[in-house]
Amino acid sequence: MIVKLPCVRDWHDHDLTGLLQHRRTSHGRGTRGARSGEAFCARRSIVGDRSLPSRGRIPGTSHSSDGELERADSGLRSLVSVQGALTIQAIHSFGSSEQHARWLLGLVSGERVGCFALTEHGHGSDPDEMETRAERDGDYYVLNGSKCWIGNASIADVKVVWAKDEDGRVGGFVLEKDAPGFRARDIEGKFSLRMSRTSECWFENCRIPAENRLPNASGLKAPLSCLLYARTGIAWGVIGAAIDCYETAMTYAKEREQFGRPIAGFQLVQQKLVWMAQEITKAQLLALRLTRLMETGAARPAQISLAKRNNVWMALQCA
């Protein structure tokens, strides 16, 4: 049985239609979509629940809302993933209590938009070769370098930037809005994910207080652990895309008539619809099991990657 989340689905059906159409045709320009999406998801405890301690939710459901979000728009799920699985997760896991108090509340409430700057030109799949540097200068770090394909970077109030220090260790540094020496440019003309803003950005002698370094993030393992949460969100998200394909196909099959009856009455069409429902249900069970393992700390990186791979394949076959 295909499972649905009414609160997110109602928001899409009743409130998001016009906004989504505007964002798709405008190639993602403007901040209305991002802030509207984050604010709603925060009110529904969608953004923060996957990163912050459980508040009585059903085990395994911390990422399930990603499916309904991606049913609405893949870019919407992406921007929420950047906020929750990456930005909030990084600060919550590797920040100090003072940093939690300073940044998390605004991010979880949706009042502030976050970004997670890791990938660079030529260093996407191999971020350990990143060239962005953070050099200590008294009570400050000075950042120099660039990042590419960074969600929300041009509008983010809180930016988690990954750079190598003088010892060559990867560390996390938090930049706030309008930091001197930071600039970003949106990547225009994307074919998809138009609901999300994607940017390239530059750091030119960008000075940030030393207290903005995440004290518990030392080495590449820190940002990669955040990506595991994002991959889990993708494993759930593509289920929503597949459900939308299934529902669209089912509606059309019932409405389209040939030879005096709806084509849904022909066994070949029924076989295709049943296959879609079967694979969607299997993917939901796989994602549920994976998330329960993650919530107990038992999930392995390979399991997360395989779940993502399987469910993405399923969604593509449904499409």
85-139: pLDDT as tens digits: 899 999 999 999 999 999 999 998 888 999 999 999 988 888 999 999 999 999 9
Compute the distance between CA of residue 251 and CA of residue 128 in angstroms, rounded to an integer. Answer: 48
pLDDT at 13 (0 to 100): 59
Give all strands (DSSP E) within the chain, no chain letters: 114-117, 133-137, 140-151, 158-164, 170-176, 182-186, 198-209, 257-258, 261-262
Sign of CA dihedral 65, 67, 71, 73: positive
pLDDT at 53 (0 to 100): 46
Which CB contacts under 8 angstroms, 24+ apart, belong to 297-304?
A: 299/228, 301/228, 304/228, 304/231, 304/232, 304/235
219: DSSP letter = S
Low-confidence ranges of the chain (pLDDT < 50): 42-45, 53-58, 60
C-beta of residue 250 within 8 angstroms of C-beta of residue 264: yes
Can you tell me whether residue 166 is helix, strand or coil? coil
pLDDT at 190 (0 to 100): 82
pLDDT at 57 (0 to 100): 46
Q: Which pTM was predicted?
A: 0.83
pLDDT at 178 (0 to 100): 86
Measure the N-to-C terminal CA separation of the chain; round to a whole number of Å.
19
In the chain the domains, ranked by start, together with CATH numbers, are: 6-109 (1.10.540.10), 114-212 (2.40.110.10), 221-318 (1.20.140.10)
User: How many residues are listed for the chain in this entry?
Assistant: 319
pLDDT digits (tens, 9 = 90+) for 223-257: 999 999 999 999 999 999 999 999 999 999 999 99
